[in-house]
Amino acid sequence: MKQIQFVQVTPEQLQNAIIEGVKTQLQDLKKHFQPKEPNEYLTRVEVAKLLKIDLSSVHNWTKKEILTSYQIGGRVYYKRAEVENAIVQLKK
């Protein structure tokens, strides 16, 4: 175990240096912190309305793995972020 000796440093100076270091780290964390957004789940009907398409297109895109579906209790859901990410930019 290493020993650290503080020469000509009072306990108050050491405490203040530690506090300032922690404050700096917290401010840096606040600048770069991105809170995690909870997943929003959409039904097939909501996906169809969002994309302005027919339910059969939602079904076909799911079969073609363009859209990823999730199921719970016989109900089918889609993650909003994944639906929005499935939209690709056309090459010019």
**pLDDT tens, position by position, 26-39:** 998 888 887 788 89
pLDDT at 7 over 90: no
The CA distance from 7 to 68, in Å, is 63
pTM, full prediction:
0.60
pLDDT at residue 40 greater than cutoff 70: yes
pLDDT at residue 3 greater than cutoff 90: no
Indicate whether 6 pLDDT > 90. no
DSSP designation for 91: P
Instruction: Read off the pLDDT of each residue in 66-70 and give the average, rounded to a whole number.
Output: 94
- Integer Cα distance of 54 and 50 in angstroms: 11
